[in-house]
Chain A
Amino acid sequence: MKKILLILLVLFVASSCTKLDEMNEDTKNPSKVPSETLFTNAQRELADQLASINVNTNVFKLFAQYITETTYTDEANYDVVNRTIPDNAWRTLYKDVLMDLKESARVMDTEPAPILDSDKKNFANRKAVVDILRVYTYARLLAMFGNIPYTEALDINNVNPKYDDAASVYKSLFASLDADIATLTAGAGEGSFTGGADIIYNGDDAKWLMFANGLKLKMAIQTSDMSPLDAADLNKAIQDAAMGVFTSSADNALFNYLGATPNTNPLYLDLVASGRHDFVATNTMVDIMLAKNDTIRLDMYYTKVADTVASEAFKGGPYGYNNTYSDYSHINSTLEDPTFPCVLMDYTEIQFYLAEAAVKGLGGINGPSAFYDAAVTSSFEYWGSDAATAAAYILADAPYVDINSIGEQAWIAYYNRGFFGWTTWRRIDVPTLNDPPNNYIGLGKFPTRYIYPINEQTLNKANRSAAAAAIGGDFQDTKLFWDIK
């Protein structure tokens, strides 16, 4: 009896043990994935960051004063601390975009090596495309923050990456772009990502080549007042790039969203799905557009509200004040379509850059007014109008005069691209923005950069402090090196 019991006990215990080394395995998540899935995710995260209107992630439509808030006006008054907005942008761009791009390139090297010549070119093209998006993302970070981690970034073995001087990062990015352009030129026609992995251009390497040139032009123009390149290099860069940029809106770099959550344009989530009524048009934008009789685009941008004089009118709420939603114009329903595309780069923008190059006599480009006209026309067309209407508008209300014309029209055209509007304003300094009543930075001051993430204050203290000192203080109104006015 006792022996039986004992034997049973031993057997029972022995049979019930799984081996330890068979455990602790994550059976639900992969340790290996195809390289292109990481690239697609990076594209998507980047597009979401650009398109969003969420007060936690992207407040540039407020900074550009296209819209203002109704009840909770902290962000319109430039409080970016309460919601740690810079942290969120920084995290998305580094962790969700740049890291996935880096990993995508790394995984490519572990996948079976291409054998055919055309496959080799395709492989090289894919790497170039990944790199172009990387440059685009870094350029966005540079324009948000100034000096940023670059040479030591994206390395988990170094948890205190140093911040690099913004100008030197630009230089490095220019060099990378040149290499990517060379690769794509050499591998022309062999495509890049296939199978729908490239949401933006579906693997069209010719389009990516144009995009790379446009990006080079954009970076060159953005920093043109205090270029990191010497005069000759800057001229050459602009000249080279200008040869290969978009030739029409058909070349636009768009991220096309889908109709169903969670793959809709983030605007749809914040404006429609949330059921909230947080934003109204600003008087800054509406008044300037009304003064210019820009009713065609006004009608695309905003809704009309009841008015005592006319039955309906465009009305913008005073920027940064508490505004009653029903009293002012709202964001137009065009922008509320879940599939409304996010613009990464467009023909309008390119034409404005070329116009600016011409004004500044850069890259051997002449005749700003033609580029200016093309830009405004392109904007009208983008918003559903036509060339004739645009021509009439230019002639009557917005003829080219000087760089301020470019600044103002670019600012109007970039309505759905707050960051671009705000960046243009930082460089060209038109129009005059309105001072919000509870300005967090101080009355009469405007943000010219994001402060460094609150997280960096605690997690990367010494490097952040050094960077803060190097750029002239980690303040919202510190001007970045190229923003000399």
Chain B
Amino acid sequence: MRKTILFTAFLFFLGLQVINAQAKVVKGKITSTEDNKGVPGATVIVKGTTIGTISGSNGEYEISFDEKYKTLVFSFMGMETVEVDVSGKTTANVSMTPKVTEIEGAVITAYGISREKKSLGYATQEISGEEVNTVKSDNFVNSLSGKVSGVQVKANSNMGGSTNIIIRGSTSLTGNNQAMFVIDGVPVDNSNTNSSTQRQGGSGYDYGNAASDINPEDIESINVLKGAAATALYGSRAANGVIIITTKKGGKQIRDGKNAIGITLGISGTMGFIDKSTFPKYQTSYGGGYGPYYSAGADGHPGLSYTDVNGDGTKDWLVPTTEDASYGEAFDESLMVYQWDAFVPEHPNYGKATPWKNPENGPITFFENATTLKNSIAFYGGGDHNSFRVSYTNTYQTGIMPNSELKRNNLSFNGSQDLTDNITVSASAAYVNTDVTGRNSTGYSNNILSSYRQWWQTNVDVQDLKDMYDETGRNVTWNMSNPTGGNTNPEYWDNFYWDRYENVETDFRDRITGNAVINWKITDWMSILGRASVDYYNTVQEERLAVGSIARRFGISRLDVGSGYSRYNRTFRENNYDAIANFNHRFSDDLNITGLLGVNIRRNYLNTIYSSTNGGLVVPELYSLSNSINPVLAPLETEETVGVNGYFGQVSLGYKNTYYLEATLRRDKSSTLPDGNNVYYYPSVSGNVIFSELVEVDWMSFGKVRVNYAEVGNDAPFASINDVYSKPSPFGSTPLFSVPSTKNNIDLRPERTKSIEAGIEMKFLKNRVGFDFAWYKTNTIDQILPVAVSTATGYSTKYVNSGEIQNSGFELALLATIMKGDKFQWDLIVNWSRNRNEVISLYDGVDNLQLGSFQGGITINATVGQPYGTIQGSDFVYDENNNRKIQDTNMARPGYYMMSASNDQVIGNINPDWNAGITNRFSYGQWGLSFLIDWQQGGDIFSLDHWYGDGTGLYEFTAEANDLGNPQRDPIVGSPGSYASNSGGILQEGVLPNGEENFIRINGDRYTAYGWARNPNARYIYDASYIKLREVVLSYKLKMKKDSKSFIQGATFSFVGSNLWILYKNLPDADPEAGLSSGNLQGFQSGVMPSTRNFGININLNF
């Protein structure tokens, strides 16, 4: 702290330039030679002084200064600088010419420092706000998909769900790999509060990631800092890349010659319809059951139970209602069967057997169309010395699940005021409130989609269930425990309408982000910026389980209980205090030095409390902790305080606008590292050459090569140094303590990412075609790992500094104007990137680190010598020709696949081979059309939905004809080697141990043929590639007359579509992007939501 004061004091004594009274006033208008329009925002400087101004929105300016000065200097990014002698003049109109080579503008880099892009020795990529707010989504991060090379976005289909965003691969084995978000210099938390159970496919909800609070309507531009050199100033939190967001600001608005207030109004509506290629195609020939064994000995219908249902002394056919599978009896409308509805007194079929047939309304009728309404209004304006912008956006969304909605209000303000000629203060504040009702459950248990995809009876009519819930208000299920024994309670599955309307989760988040900035231009070569910022939110998540529901794991104890209520409160706060001195000095026409010295103080505070009822609810429908049957268990509390004090500096040299060299250094002291071992330095150095300045050739308009090296880091998670005990619930009045599962480590050091990057950027044919190519390699060493250890050590995990992961890759961004006419233009933008990672080492003697374990025996791992995120499970056994081996008649289960003895076979890898986004933009006069094709190639995914759903006979192919053309569910006739031509059964593809092609049939009429019971996990690994028509925008811009008296200044109407068409995928019946949660555990699907094709209309009006 003392150093901060010293530093500030030093700046204070530097001496201050005092401006004398002014005498002369010069006015004028600055226009562009290209279109003769006014140039707003151009800088006008009195030569030889620091006096200056900026032109207004129509290019007009006015400046006053001492008469002794004679020359004004006009400059603007991308234009040639003009000097004008104004001695004796009061008006000076200037026209400026665009620079040919200066095609790159200013970009916002780390800590909000604006830099000329060409001077940077590292890769950045900008996109405009329009690109992320035209297509409306509940999470703006989704809108980045395919638009920036090197950024991998994986949206999932949960309403309000979390989106995974990784820049240049995963660098941390077990830490956070999500990109960091910074808005106007304020780091914005992007936590995901999903429980570790939820992330590993257990029951729970996807509560989304906190960056979804960011309002895309407020975004002016986004700059993505990809590599370590770009982010190095952030030191110990720089490893994952940074998304820098600049919000829209106000400014002087002239209407009818007067200063006015601008108003922008946006109205939009979007409808989403299920993409049927992401939902199961059910077989329609067989009903509920597991196989032909319910009425052994009775005639005819072994898939049904045979018992006297109606008490008339004769046996009746009955669906085995407890079975949540569809390997039952073949449909036959002449067969009368007692089904679940026969046991519901309110049902018209009560007490009746009904025809055995495929129902009219399958599971897809359960879903509703999604709607999103988004309205926004913004007011903005300002004067010569101030500006402001106020905006409000309202989002209302309903999901495809019945009874689901998301409401969000974004309110934001920013403004600035010049206090004196050289001191400007500005502030911004944003309030966001998100209110969600009825998120969809995720994962394996108690998730409606896991029933529809894994455990379902194809004879059940979904609308019938809806009618019964509507009529009775009870949990009338198809999955009755023992209806003939009088028990019509659910065995595994509730009525899904009951589930949606009674077991409702709700959550909200109230969030405030803001900053206050003072910018003081001390001399013409130095300015100081002081900034205080806050990101604060409070979120409450409430889960409910209604009395009458099927018991499930719930609340703190995660024990099975039939009803309950739980709440989770989380308060988060991050404060940053920055003081940054910027230097910019031109020693000569050729040599320019810029630099900065800064201090950053960061404080994070997190406080959570989770509590739940115990043993159920006393009074139904009263969701309160006091309504607990047993005394409430002690709530789970956490309180985390984390701080980092950082000092940083940067020096950049520019020579002849051609050679650039930059070095940065940051020193961090982190509270999460042990005393005496908690101070670290993070250096970076980068250089670039604008070689187009050196070689003059016609065809090349711009050329730049760059290279850099940087080291950044990641400090330890909170409280991973000292050991504490864990506190299980007391045993009655006897207190319990236990040694925790994780052994902490007093010797932790920060993780370190060493990165090297090189790139080339070129533009041709007067900037019509250009590309930016980057190669990088990052090695993250000294990883802070809670490494899994043999539990024979008394712990499951141990914190260590160990392990190395390497990411390397290429990125290519290509921009081309393919056609350009008077009215017509066709632009093509291609972003392509490929990242390869490899786990180089882990921990002494450990060559596998399990990151997560899932239902079905699947684990996601970091394995030495493999890419990060291997999927492990059981595999086929292969012969030397890579044929799958099949068990012969001398072995157990002849005709079935042989399986690996252990579950630790690497059977997949979650990382895609490459990602690409291809945008085509056409404009014709006022019309615009653009579409984005988003392509992921490679990556694997394990589908628990097929692992179980194939095994339960839900899917179409499980009822198709076999190789002989007979129904595969028909009985096997004959024996191996001599099957009859009418034989059913299935011939698995593969070879017998003796090398012969398999000729042994297995039963196709029961749950063993496919799926979990007799197959290795490897059979359910799918290629996660996809090509999607991600976005289509058709817009019409209303052209206003040059008459500024007009009330409406501009209007845009657009038709937008998103996720319209999955052109290509290999994963059947689901969207390869669908998943459980953002985070390091990907590549696993269980009960995933179908995706929607979204169509919308936007109207934008400017007043």
Interface string of B738-751 (1 = CB under 8 A from A): 11010100000000
With a cutoff of 8 Å between Cβ atoms, the chain B residues found around residue A96 in the complex are 738
Q: How large is the interface on B (under 10, 10 to 19, 20 to 34, 35 or more residues)?
A: 35 or more
Q: Are B792 and A148 in contact (CB under 8 A)?
A: yes
CA distance A3 to B903 in the complex (A): 69
With a cutoff of 8 Å between Cβ atoms, the chain B residues found around residue A9 in the complex are 8, 518, 530, 579
For the complex, is A98 an interface residue (Cβ under 8 Å from B)? yes
Q: Which of A25-33, A231-239, A406-414 contacts B (4 or more CB under 8 A)?
A: A25-33
Q: Give the residue name and chain of the A residue nearest to B798 (CB).
A: A156
Chain A nearest Cβ from B450, distance in angstroms: 15
For the complex, is B16 an interface residue (Cβ under 8 Å from A)? yes
For window 830-850 of chain B, which residues contact chain A by CB distance below 8 Å? 843-848, 850
Q: Give the residue name and chain of the A residue nearest to B489 (CB).
A: A275
Q: A13-B579, A40-B731, A273-B561 are in contact. Are A156 and B795 (CB under 8 A)?
A: yes
Q: Are B892 and A38 in contact (CB under 8 A)?
A: no
Name B323's contact: one of A5, A71, A87, A160 (CB within 8 Å).
A71
Q: How large is the interface on A (under 10, 10 to 19, 20 to 34, 35 or more residues)?
A: 35 or more
CA distance A9 to B530 in the complex (A): 7
Q: Are A457 and B561 in contact (CB under 8 A)?
A: no
With a cutoff of 8 Å between Cβ atoms, the chain A residues found around residue B5 in the complex are 10, 14
Chain A nearest Cβ from B469, distance in angstroms: 19
Q: Are A460 and B792 in contact (CB under 8 A)?
A: yes
With a cutoff of 8 Å between Cβ atoms, the chain B residues found around residue A29 in the complex are 724-727
Chain A nearest Cβ from B559, distance in angstroms: 5
CA distance A29 to B562 in the complex (A): 31
Inter-chain contact total with CB atoms closer than 8 Å:
284
For the complex, is A155 an interface residue (Cβ under 8 Å from B)? yes
CA distance A107 to B1008 in the complex (A): 53
Interface string of A25-53 (1 = CB under 8 A from B): 11111110110011011001100000000
Interface string of A429-450 (1 = CB under 8 A from B): 0000000001100110000000
For the complex, is B705 an interface residue (Cβ under 8 Å from A)? no
With a cutoff of 8 Å between Cβ atoms, the chain B residues found around residue A34 in the complex are 735, 737
Name A12's contact: one of B532, B733, B793, B846 (CB within 8 Å).
B532
Interface string of B594-611 (1 = CB under 8 A from A): 000000010100000000
Q: Are A102 and B794 in contact (CB under 8 A)?
A: yes
Q: Are B562 and A20 in contact (CB under 8 A)?
A: no
Q: Give the residue name and chain of the B residue nearest to A160 (CB).
A: B845
CA distance A443 to B893 in the complex (A): 9
For the complex, is B620 an interface residue (Cβ under 8 Å from A)? no
For the complex, is A261 an interface residue (Cβ under 8 Å from B)? yes
For the complex, is B204 an interface residue (Cβ under 8 Å from A)? no
For the complex, is B645 an interface residue (Cβ under 8 Å from A)? yes
For window 773-798 of chain B, which residues contact chain A by CB distance below 8 Å? 787-796, 798
With a cutoff of 8 Å between Cβ atoms, the chain A residues found around residue B603 in the complex are 16-18
For window 8-39 of chain B, which residues contact chain A by CB distance below 8 Å? 8-9, 12, 16
With a cutoff of 8 Å between Cβ atoms, the chain B residues found around residue A197 in the complex are 734
Name B724's contact: one of A31, A269, A438, A461 (CB within 8 Å).
A31
Name A455's contact: one of B1, B532, B671, B790 (CB within 8 Å).
B790
Chain B nearest Cβ from A325, distance in angstroms: 7
CA distance A10 to B741 in the complex (A): 45
Q: Are A37 and B560 in contact (CB under 8 A)?
A: no
With a cutoff of 8 Å between Cβ atoms, the chain B residues found around residue A82 in the complex are 856-857, 1012
Q: A12-B532, A16-B575, A159-B844 are in contact. Are A28 and B638 (CB under 8 A)?
A: yes
Name B725's contact: one of A33, A84, A275, A326 (CB within 8 Å).
A33
Chain A nearest Cβ from B786, distance in angstroms: 12
For the complex, is B1020 an interface residue (Cβ under 8 Å from A)? no
Q: Are B551 and A275 in contact (CB under 8 A)?
A: yes
Q: A10-B5, A96-B738, A156-B798 are in contact. Are A23 and B641 (CB under 8 A)?
A: yes
Chain B nearest Cβ from A283, distance in angstroms: 15
Q: Give the residue name and chain of the B residue nearest to A90 (CB).
A: B791
For the complex, is B978 an interface residue (Cβ under 8 Å from A)? no
For window 38-92 of chain A, which residues contact chain B by CB distance below 8 Å? 38, 40-41, 44-45, 70-71, 74, 81-84, 87, 90-91
Name B641's contact: one of A1, A18, A156, A199 (CB within 8 Å).
A18
CA distance A14 to B420 in the complex (A): 25
For the complex, is A182 an interface residue (Cβ under 8 Å from B)? no
For the complex, is B79 an interface residue (Cβ under 8 Å from A)? no
Chain B nearest Cβ from A199, distance in angstroms: 7
Q: Are A273 and B551 in contact (CB under 8 A)?
A: yes
CA distance A145 to B15 in the complex (A): 79
Chain A nearest Cβ from B553, distance in angstroms: 9
Q: Give the residue name and chain of the B residue nearest to A258 (CB).
A: B732
Chain B nearest Cβ from A144, distance in angstroms: 13
CA distance A9 to B425 in the complex (A): 12
For the complex, is B414 an interface residue (Cβ under 8 Å from A)? no
Q: Are B736 and A40 in contact (CB under 8 A)?
A: yes
Q: A37-B736, A98-B794, A322-B291 are in contact. Are A159 and B671 (CB under 8 A)?
A: no
For the complex, is A113 an interface residue (Cβ under 8 Å from B)? no
Chain B nearest Cβ from A388, distance in angstroms: 37
Q: Give the residue name and chain of the A residue nearest to B645 (CB).
A: A20
CA distance A385 to B788 in the complex (A): 50
Q: A20-B643, A262-B729, A263-B731 are in contact. Are A154 and B484 (CB under 8 A)?
A: no
Q: Are B423 and A159 in contact (CB under 8 A)?
A: no
For the complex, is B380 an interface residue (Cβ under 8 Å from A)? no
For window 620-651 of chain B, which residues contact chain A by CB distance below 8 Å? 629-631, 633, 637-639, 641-645
CA distance A480 to B788 in the complex (A): 28
Q: Are A95 and B791 in contact (CB under 8 A)?
A: yes
Chain A nearest Cβ from B426, distance in angstroms: 14
Q: A2-B423, A154-B793 are in contact. Are A199 and B731 (CB under 8 A)?
A: yes
Q: Are B856 and A94 in contact (CB under 8 A)?
A: no
Q: Are B4 and A454 in contact (CB under 8 A)?
A: no
Q: Are B728 and A41 in contact (CB under 8 A)?
A: yes
Q: A37-B736, A158-B793, A457-B904 are in contact. Are A261 and B630 (CB under 8 A)?
A: yes
For the complex, is B481 an interface residue (Cβ under 8 Å from A)? yes
CA distance A90 to B520 in the complex (A): 65
With a cutoff of 8 Å between Cβ atoms, the chain A residues found around residue B958 in the complex are none
With a cutoff of 8 Å between Cβ atoms, the chain A residues found around residue B792 in the complex are 90, 94, 148-149, 153-154, 161, 456, 460
Q: Are A23 and B560 in contact (CB under 8 A)?
A: no
With a cutoff of 8 Å between Cβ atoms, the chain B residues found around residue A310 in the complex are none
Q: A44-B731, A275-B562, A324-B305 are in contact. Are A24 and B721 (CB under 8 A)?
A: yes
For the complex, is B680 an interface residue (Cβ under 8 Å from A)? no
With a cutoff of 8 Å between Cβ atoms, the chain A residues found around residue B420 in the complex are 1-2
Interface string of B538-565 (1 = CB under 8 A from A): 0000000000001100000101111000
For the complex, is A274 an interface residue (Cβ under 8 Å from B)? yes
Q: Give the residue name and chain of the A residue nearest to B719 (CB).
A: A26
Chain A nearest Cβ from B922, distance in angstroms: 51
Q: Are A6 and B8 in contact (CB under 8 A)?
A: yes
For the complex, is B670 an interface residue (Cβ under 8 Å from A)? yes
Q: Are A438 and B893 in contact (CB under 8 A)?
A: yes
Can you add 15 more A-B contacts, CB < 8 Å, to A148-B792, A273-B561, A277-B322? A22-B641, A23-B671, A24-B672, A26-B724, A29-B724, A40-B734, A70-B322, A155-B794, A160-B845, A161-B793, A260-B614, A324-B305, A324-B320, A438-B893, A455-B791
A-B contact pairs, 25 of them (CB 8 A): A2-B520, A5-B423, A16-B532, A16-B603, A17-B645, A20-B669, A28-B639, A30-B737, A34-B735, A37-B734, A45-B738, A71-B322, A84-B857, A91-B796, A94-B794, A95-B739, A98-B794, A153-B792, A156-B793, A159-B790, A159-B798, A262-B557, A275-B550, A276-B551, A326-B482
Q: 8 closest A-B pairs (Cβ-Cβ)?
A: A99-B794, A29-B724, A274-B560, A260-B630, A23-B671, A275-B551, A149-B792, A33-B737
Spell out B's residues near A (CB within 8 Å).
Answer: 1, 4-5, 8-9, 12, 16, 290-291, 293-294, 305, 320, 322-323, 419-420, 423, 481-482, 484-485, 489-492, 518, 520, 530, 532, 550-551, 557, 559-562, 575, 577, 579, 601, 603, 614-615, 629-631, 633, 637-639, 641-645, 669-672, 675, 678, 718-719, 721-729, 731-739, 741, 743, 787-796, 798, 843-848, 850, 853, 856-857, 874, 891-893, 902-904, 1008, 1012-1014
